[in-house]
Chain A
Amino acid sequence: MDDGDNSIPSLVDAAATGDEQAWHEIVDRYTPLLGSVIHCFRLTKAETQDVAQTVWLRLVEHLGRLREPRALPMWIITTSRRESLRCLSDRRRTVPYDPLDPSWPIFPTDDAEPDAELLRADRHEALLAGLAELPARQRELLLLLVADPPLSYAEITERTGIPTGSIGPTRRRALDRLRQTFAVRDYLAGPLAAPVAPGRTACLAPSRPAIRIDRERGEGHDAAPLG
């Protein structure tokens, strides 16, 4: 557990120079985001594990190149999307093509209209990347507040030490902080204002993705290299 004020860039710097504890903290903070992206592709359990493992292994070596706060979540989103797509591509190589099989992955190249599922994925990624930016105490409280099954305030007090009377105000401050995170502010500012991750449209399940690998933008950007 961090002391609450470790910013993402300082964690990245520390992990890049040998601080394993800082790396563990990065993993804890960004596991929900990574899990959310992979979930879009409806991979099997084994495939999910493969993709997650590859993304983490690769990130360890890329830490030294990620300086600004937005770079890390963008890198995770882009890399895990591409690895998930690679997984689907492997499947296609090993399964013979059957034109009558409705589950056969089809990947239209045109930019599809952003549909509800794509918008939902963007919204989730923004919130989970925002959550990762919060200090540990606020992050922990929000996670307990949305726990399923729900916890009572008394149980939350027991787990966090936050007095029951302070939970309401702490919740309000945590949500205010969430709105002020880079991830949520970028999302709310809209697609024109936010930095666009290469492969941004390359998401979602076999039935409905739009694939556009934008290599020109991918090249030379440490924030989100291909893979």
Chain B
Amino acid sequence: MTQHRWDDDQDLLDDLSEALRDAELPSTIAECGKGAYAWRTVDQDLLLASLSLDSSLEHMAERRSAGGEGRVLVFTASPLSLELEVMPDHVAGQILPPGPGKVRVETLDGVTFYVDADDAGFFYIPRKPAGPARLRCDTPAGRLVTDWIYL
């Protein structure tokens, strides 16, 4: 391997020092990290549905967001997944494959509320949670919980 700047102890230490100086290190980052563990899911039968599409990242390429359309989020697990369309004041969703279920919206401040999904899997959340939230869905086909997300 060719010589690298980091072969020298002082240069390596200087670069490490620069990296640490450049990082945002409010103590709150570590504090909220430690507190996050209290939300760990211990329910083995609950499927974790990972965020697999966030249209707000796709639209970053455009100068303005597509007018009138909501932000689309897709959470994928197997065999269930969940699609959300986030509008300014409400959230519309569907459980896939389509089927009825109960949806629970969980937030960090302990505010939890339920909405029902109809036979086609559609549900409607009349208000947007202010902070990070996640959705739990109980359906005859299985139960899932989404990644935490800012809606």
A contact set with B: CB distance below 8 Å: 15, 18, 20, 23-24, 27-28, 31-36, 38-39, 45, 48-50, 52-54, 56-62, 82-83, 85-86, 88-90, 92-93, 97, 106-109, 120, 123-124, 127-128, 131, 142-143, 145-146, 148, 171-172, 175, 178-179, 184, 188, 211, 213, 215, 218-219, 225-227
Contact = CB atoms under 8 A, between A and B. Distances in A.
A119 B113 CA distance: 45
Contact of A97 (B9, B64, B131): B64
Contacts of A52: 28-29, 32-33
A127 B60 contact: no
Interface residues of B, number: 53
Given A23-B34, A146-B16, A211-B61, A225 B51 contact: yes
7 contacts: A53-B108, A57-B36, A62-B50, A83-B150, A108-B61, A178-B16, A226-B51
B52 A219 contact: yes
B147 A60 contact: no
Contacts of B147: 58, 61, 227
Contacts of A97: 63-64
Given A32-B25, A148-B21, A219-B52, 14 more contacts: A18-B42, A23-B37, A28-B30, A48-B26, A49-B26, A50-B131, A53-B32, A53-B36, A53-B132, A54-B150, A56-B36, A92-B65, A127-B16, A188-B6
